[in-house]
Amino acid sequence: MYATQTSNQYMPSVLRTFSLSLAFAILGTAAGVYVPAGLFLPLAILETVLLIFAFFLRRRKAVSYTFVYSFTFLSGVTTYPIVSHYIAASGANTVFLALATTLTVFSGLAIYATKSKRNFSFLGGMLMAALLALIAISIFSIFWPLSSTGMLAYSFIGVLVFSGYVLFDISRMKHYGIRAEEVPLMALSLYLDFVNLFISLLRIFGIFSSKD
């Protein structure tokens, strides 16, 4: 009973912080227009360091609002080259279609996890293993680029993994509750689910549009 009350009490705060995180990411993407191309790699490395830092903080369940908003702004900046690439290669409609699909899938999964009586926290181990596999493949592809078919398969797996994380994170908040100090961390988790789902879908739509 306590966990349910806690979840009901702080879930709106998580969603508000998540929405603000998306707003900061959009601002960061807009700011990416003014960032010199040579800075994107150092910024991407900094983002990775911050993400690892957040992972260790997650074990202590302590991440500040300042960290979340700073990280999501930086994430928006480093997402700009990806978005601009697909706008140039496939057109703005491809990006808007990927964003609309992400919003639809994310919202649908979040509503389902909220309404369902099923606890999806059992997915945690499988999702972590799949995520590590995706990271390993992404590192591999830096040196040996994937074919369009390989990238399509990689992106579809990404959609499945991050869709699973949406179910996992929402279900965890519903069934185990949220303390006030965990709100920024939970919002950051949802942001990472959203942005990685968006990038995976953007790759898929970009590959299909290039075949037309």
pLDDT digits (tens, 9 = 90+) for 119-144: 898 898 899 898 888 888 887 877 88
Give the CA diameter of the chain.
54
Side chain identity, residue 170 = I
Mean pLDDT of 206-210: 86
Higher pLDDT pick, 101 / 212: 101
Q: What residues make up the domain containing 187?
A: 2-210
The two three-digit tokens of residue 128, written as one number: 């972590």
Q: What percent of the chain has pLDDT over 90?
A: 41
DSSP 142-211: HHSPPPHHHHHHHHHHHHHHHHHHHHHHHHHHHHH---GGGHHHHHHHHHHHHHHHHHHHHHHHHHHHHT
Cβ within 8 Å of residue 151, ≥6 positions away: 141, 203, 207
Count CB atoms within 10 A of the CB of residue 159: 19
The rounded distance, in Å, linking the Cα atoms of 194 and 95 is 14
Whether residue 19 is predicted with pLDDT greater than 60 in this model: the reply is: yes
Whether residue 27 is predicted with pLDDT greater than 50 in this model: the reply is: yes
- Whats the size of the chain, residue-wise? 212
């968006």: which residue's tokens? 198
pLDDT, tens only, 144-190: 888 888 989 999 999 999 999 999 999 988 888 888 888 998 999 99
> For 1-5, 21-25, 50-54, 113-117, which range has the lowest pLDDT when averaged over its residues?
1-5
Whether residue 63 is predicted with pLDDT greater than 60 in this model: the reply is: yes
Total structural domains in the chain?
A: 1
